[in-house]
Structure 1
Amino acid sequence: MLVVVLLGMVAGFLALRLYAVLGKRTGHEQPLVRPAEERVGAPPVPRTIDVQPEPRDVSQRHVEPAAENGLRAIIASDPTFDVAEFLEGAKSAYGMILDAFWKGDRQTIDWLTDAEVKAAFTGEIDAREAAGHTLENRLVSIERAVISDASVAAGIARITVRFDADIAAVTRDAEGNVIAGSLTDAVETHDVWTFARTLKSGDPNWKLSDTDEA
């Protein structure tokens, strides 16, 4: 599971604002994604990813058909939720959590992951530090981010996002010698991350609850 996190980077100052980005919505619209011009400050999002009762082909865009009913269930429980804004926040979270893992930033990992993921990540950091290894990794680009699944069960919302990214990675030993990887050759990475939040709790925070490879 943790092989996928040996690679990238997004500015750390965004960590304190991440939770506000992951899925806030101001209206009660039925479409899963509002037009970009209605979301002040949000990046442009094509209208073609709006999911209607008879959805257009979104499998190659932002939401896979298997996730549509789950997303509607989340919106029914939390009308402030917005799919496009959640996806932008998830991409920021992807970069921030990877960056924190590579740098050994346990505090950011604690903010953004649940207990099980936190334990796995910090265990890997401890092992790396004990070996005297350091990572010089860089997230070159996120080529694609797609919501592949969504659900609500026992009051907990879960959304799974598949990330296709290019990452450059170098591992150095205690003397600074390169023992693996290259910063000049990016590697294609395909990760599947699931974010979770307890609905109707008054807590808007989403946390990373599972990671896997696509």
Structure 2
Amino acid sequence: MIAAFLALRLYMVLGKRTGHEQPLPKPAEERVALAPSPARTIEGTAETRDIANRHIESGAESGVRAIIAADSSFDVGQFIDGAKAAYRMILDAYWKGDTDTLGWLVEDEVRQSFIEAIDARKAAGHVLDNRLVSIERAVITDAEVKGRAARIMVLIEADIAATTRDAEGNLVSGSMTDAVATREIWTFARTLKNSDPNWKLAETDEA
């Protein structure tokens, strides 16, 4: 029931690295969930234009327009809120080794990569004690539509406190008192005009 509640909450929120220890695995393609909302365009109201200016870099505008043209329910502000929510949930699930939650946030191939990284961590007897302190910035840096496949790249700047401990609880590395500033590009993808409204994490790269 808790998993179902979280899934519903993420679905409603989404609009259509970790720290210095145990970085996310970087498979060829990972994919977050984003749900529809009332139609908005970049050229809409003053409020909408302000949201666009804050959340879209100039080089990404044409790609975002293409996504809006293909899916009129897409909303920039809601998408960014959803991307940040997904960022928190994916990192938390990875740190805790929660493969069930990762299963509906990423594709099967990506989930397998996470499972392998989590299993390797367990085999080494390591436990992560990480905390996302804050997300300082999230902005769309690029977007594209090819056929029905849409991809949106989001620059996420965050502060993360991270430690790795051994099976006895001894500190292996990291610190919970010194947050590490991280900059990553997370790519989200989904098939437009599909019965599944969810976007999934498709790729992560250092910015």
Q: TM-score, normalised by structure 1?
A: 0.80
1:21 has 2:13 as partner: yes
What residue is the counterpart of 2:61 in the other structure?
68
The answer to whether structure 1 residue 154 and structure 2 residue 147 are counterparts is: yes
C-alpha separation in 2, matches of 1:32 and 1:74: 14
CA distance in 2, matches of 1:172, 1:33: 51
The residue aligned with 1:31 is 42
Hey, what does 2:103 align to over in structure 1? 110
Q: TM-score scaled to structure 2, two decimals?
A: 0.82
Contact 1:20 1:204 in 2 (8 A): no
1:140, 1:166 within 8 Å by CA — same for their partners in 2?
yes
Between the two proteins, the alignment pairs up a number of residues equal to 185
Structure 2, unpaired ranges of 5+:
16-35
1:179 corresponds to which residue?
172
1:191–1:213 contact (8 Å) kept in structure 2: yes
Cα pair distance change 1:99/1:92, threshold 3 Å: same
Q: Deviation per CA, 1:93-145, whole angstroms, max 9, x where unpaired? A: 00000000000000111110123322221111010011111101000000000
Q: Deviations over 1:154-195 (max 9, x none)?
A: 311111101000000010101111101010100000111011
Offset at residue 47 of structure 1 (A): 5.1
CA RMSD of aligned residues (A): 2.1
Q: 2:125 aligns to what SS in structure 1?
A: coil
Runs (4 or more) in structure 1 with deviation over 2 Å come to: 12-17, 19-22, 29-36, 46-50
Q: Give the 3-state SS of the residue equivalent to 1:139 in structure 2.
A: strand
1:77-116 mapped onto 2 (5 Å cutoff): 77-116=70-109
Contact 2:148 2:192 in 1 (8 A): yes
Report 1 or 2 for greater relative contact order, CA contacts < 8 Å, sequence distance ≥ 6.
2
Aligned to 2:33: none
Shift of 1:31: 2.4
Contact 1:147–1:160 (8 Å) recurs in 2: yes
